[in-house]
Amino acid sequence: MVVEDTHTGVQAGVAAGMPVFWYGGEVMAQMQGDVTPFAHMAELPSLLKSRGVLDG
């Protein structure tokens, strides 16, 4: 699992086959892979739980 805020970091996470949570990211049509964009850090815990990455 990767939490990233740069396009390059997101690409690296996707290339590594990891789920990527993109902070501040915009949905990009050309982005392929397991990428979940989000705008506020407060969203991250619930996103991680919903994706089964975080227990609880």
Domain containing residue 40: 2-50
Judge whether 39 lies within some domain.
yes
Any domain includes 28: yes
Whether 41 maps to a domain, the answer reads: yes
Residue 55 falls inside a structural domain: no
Position 31 in a domain: yes
Considering the domain boundaries, does residue 56 fall inside one? no
Give me the number of domains the chain comprises.
1
Question: Can you give the pLDDT at residue 28?
Answer: 59
Quote the pLDDT of residue 56.
Answer: 63
Tokens of 11: 């690409």
Which pLDDT tens digit goes with each residue over 1-56? Answer: 999 999 899 999 999 999 999 998 666 555 678 888 899 999 999 999 998 888 76
Q: Give the Cα separation of 26 and 23 in Å (integer).
A: 9
Distance, CA of 28 to chain centre: 13
